[in-house]
Structure 1
Amino acid sequence: MNCDNKRIVEVCRIFPDIIRTTLTYQDMDFNKLQEIRLRINQPLICIYDNREVIIHRITISAQMIRETMEHVSNYSLYAFEEEIKQGYITITGGHRVGIAGKAIIENGYVKTIKYISFINVRLSHQIKGCSDKVLQFAHKEDRLMHTLIISPPGCGKTTLLRDMIRQISNGTSNYIGQTVGVVDERSEIGACYMGIPQNDLGIRTDVLDCCPKDEGMIMLIRSMSPKVIAVDEIGKASDVEAIEYIINCGCTVIGSVHGDSYEDIMQKPILNRLISEKLFNRFIILSKDNGVGTIKDLISLE
């Protein structure tokens, strides 16, 4: 990898020297590097081009974990207490540092995580233009339709949703730009760092970061007057109820759910409402059949 690459510098800086040096000179294309995993007393492992690469010459020590967390938190874990409760910290560039260890529970909720012994750095990758093939499908003439992306994990649904947001917000040669409100519950769409999206979501997009989807959708309707609301990984009954509310307010929704097919979603009681009550009328089904992001099917209800 080329260490002049801004993104590899962003990631490398959080690691101890021995890991930083190894990653910098490993024979890899940084754009294909997806995850870097540190587990105490285990070898360094990378997920590269959807394959696992085990680097046996480095055994992760407690000191390496400690030093990495010091760099991630700028030597102040306390300042990231809220993020730690969620199990991850987002760093410059939108890269997510997932952590695991001993969960400290208070009143039935996770208060913090101590004795951090496992780290998973998920690298942020934005693929501009990946939604070109589905943008016209998501429209009826010049009107954006309620669109749902159905995808198994790891098939690129968030990447596709992110680029749809960018293009809807900026506008294209065929469609005027619209104000988009994004509820980014897990900081995966915008990858905000200190409140600023690290991914390009367009010039007319407002982001509510680290907020539950059901509450966030209603908050954005009341405060930011969006024409479009975007959410990732709809799953709870309260999410569906909030979607019903904002659709009744005249707002268009684009979102995603985990599922293998249209029929799969119909068999899940909560998600079935998205179809049976005709909350969505455009469905994009993804798979890995021909690589990540394969468009398996497009279904229109009108």
Structure 2
Amino acid sequence: MWDDAERLRKIEEAEKQGTERLLSYFPAWIRNILTENIDGVEEVAMDLGRPLVVRIRGEQILYREVSQGDIEYFYNKVGSFRSNGRAGIPGTLHRISVIRDADELAIGFTIRFGRAIPGIAAPLREWIGGRESTLIIGPPGVGKTTLLRGIVEEKAKTLKARLVIVDTSNEIAGDGTVPHPIIGSARRMMVGDPRKQANIIMQAITNHSPETIVVDEIGYHGDVEVLETARRRGVDIVATVHGEDLRDVLENPVLKPLLGYPDLETGKRLTRPTFQIGIAVLSKGVYKVYPNFTGAIDQALRKEDPEGITINTLTKAQP
């Protein structure tokens, strides 16, 4: 396997080539806009007859209207979309989603610029380096998947092939049959349809002897039951879930079995939670770690502020 210098070189090369290829999909006028601030571009929204919207470092900037020619140019470059309305670029972390009209014709796209950031999870090594199952909480677009990749990068250094990623829509390790080098020696099992995620998780557990399973966005049909099975078999879980904060997650009825069956009315839970560590993504690069996730759940059920440690990757830990 590559040494650290070679791995970083491969990540840098993959990022450069992937961004260049994605930029080539856009009409020239959009490509010129994106190139001016490419490092800060997070998302592009292209809708027929509507202003182009580019999100740069959290700020949305509007440009001229998108034409039919712009839509056709981009669609032809992408080529095809999966049944879930998504497409990717082999070897990259970028994600392209299509909007169609009543006749199934493409009339818009959402393009999310995915990036591998080596070392992003290094400030969290104290909490992610062991065998504890970890739940990452945050709203869409705040950086949950980016952090998840960073945790995979850290854990893969020791677990290697005993770390298995169940990669729905190729969100974690990128598109194409060969995963992005950010995941190191970890293995990846692809899931083309979210409805099949639970089945692939079970295949990973029963067929490939993982110590740790990594899943992005749990909550699909059957996920909870199969993840409970994983824990009973001694497999650790690292997963993400949507929610503004811990209380949002506790209010999600689908996730109750993984959180100890919390009852918001009585302020109690029935069983031990599946996860030992919780990490709330507050904003890009800012996290609140719950080292005692069970205790944090109990505090939230009592309507108290859960105890945690805020980690700002630009500064230092705050109690």
- Same fold judged by TM-score > 0.5? yes
Aligned to 1:53: 61
Does residue 280 of the first structure (1) align with residue 280 of the second (2)?
no
Does residue 182 of the first structure (1) align with residue 165 of the second (2)?
yes
Checking the alignment, whether the CA contact within 8 Å between 1:259 and 1:265 is kept in structure 2 is yes
Cα shift at 1:210: 2.1
Mapping 1:38-49, distance limit 5 Å? 38-49=46-57
Cα shift at 1:226: 1.4
Checking the alignment, whether the CA contact within 8 Å between 2:165 and 2:188 is kept in structure 1 is yes
Letter matched to residue 13 of structure 1: S
User: What is the DSSP-based 3-state SS (H/G/I as helix, E as strand, rest coil) of the residue aligned with 1:264?
Assistant: helix
Mapping 1:107-118, distance limit 5 Å? 114-118=104-108
Does residue 17 of the first structure (1) align with residue 28 of the second (2)?
yes
Checking the alignment, whether the CA contact within 8 Å between 1:286 and 1:294 is kept in structure 2 is yes
Aligned to 2:12: none
Find the partner of 2:189 among 181, 189, 207: 207
Checking the alignment, whether the CA contact within 8 Å between 2:86 and 2:98 is kept in structure 1 is yes
Letter matched to residue 238 of structure 1: G
Mapping 1:152-231, distance limit 5 Å? 152-171=139-158, 177=160, 179-193=162-176, 195-198=177-180, 200-211=182-193, 212-231=196-215
Cα shift at 1:178: 5.6
Find the partner of 2:225 among 241, 254, 257: 241
User: What is the DSSP-based 3-state SS (H/G/I as helix, E as strand, rest coil) of the residue aligned with 2:290?
Assistant: strand
The answer for unaligned runs of 5 or more in structure 2 is: 1-14, 261-270, 296-319
User: What is the DSSP-based 3-state SS (H/G/I as helix, E as strand, rest coil) of the residue aligned with 1:190?
Assistant: coil
- In 2 relative to 1, CA 36–268 (structure 1 residues): closer, same or farther, beyond 3 Å? closer
TM-score calculated relative to the size of structure 1: 0.80
Cα shift at 1:186: 2.5
Checking the alignment, whether the CA contact within 8 Å between 2:169 and 2:190 is kept in structure 1 is no
Checking the alignment, whether the CA contact within 8 Å between 2:161 and 2:185 is kept in structure 1 is no
Mapping 1:50-199, distance limit 5 Å? 50-56=58-64, 59-73=65-79, 77=80, 80=81, 83=82, 85-92=83-90, 93-102=92-101, 114-139=104-129, 143-171=130-158, 177=160, 179-193=162-176, 195-198=177-180
Checking the alignment, whether the CA contact within 8 Å between 1:190 and 1:207 is kept in structure 2 is no
Letter matched to residue 155 of structure 1: V
Identity %: 25
Post-superposition CA distance 1:16-47 (Å, at most 9, x none)? 233334433x3x1x221011221111222211
Letter matched to residue 54 of structure 1: L
Cα shift at 1:134: 2.1
TM-score calculated relative to the size of structure 2: 0.76
Checking the alignment, whether the CA contact within 8 Å between 2:165 and 2:187 is kept in structure 1 is yes
Answer with 43-52 or 230-239: which moved more.
230-239
Structure 1 segments (4+ residues) deviating >6 Å: none
Letter matched to residue 242 of structure 1: V
CA distance in 2, matches of 1:5, 1:183: 25
How many residues are paired up? 266
The answer for unaligned runs of 5 or more in structure 1 is: 105-113
Checking the alignment, whether the CA contact within 8 Å between 2:167 and 2:188 is kept in structure 1 is no
Checking the alignment, whether the CA contact within 8 Å between 1:168 and 1:178 is kept in structure 2 is no
Q: CA RMSD in A?
A: 2.2
Cα shift at 1:237: 5.7
User: What is the DSSP-based 3-state SS (H/G/I as helix, E as strand, rest coil) of the residue aligned with 1:71?
Assistant: helix
CA distance in 2, matches of 1:10, 1:67: 14
Checking the alignment, whether the CA contact within 8 Å between 1:148 and 1:255 is kept in structure 2 is yes
Find the partner of 1:6 among 11, 17, 38: 17
Does residue 265 of the first structure (1) align with residue 279 of the second (2)?
no
- In 2 relative to 1, CA 243–5 (structure 1 residues): closer, same or farther, beyond 3 Å? closer
Letter matched to residue 43 of structure 2: E
Does residue 250 of the first structure (1) align with residue 234 of the second (2)?
yes
Return the structure number with greater helix share.
2
Cα shift at 1:13: 0.9
Letter matched to residue 72 of structure 1: V
CA distance in 1, matches of 2:40, 2:34: 13
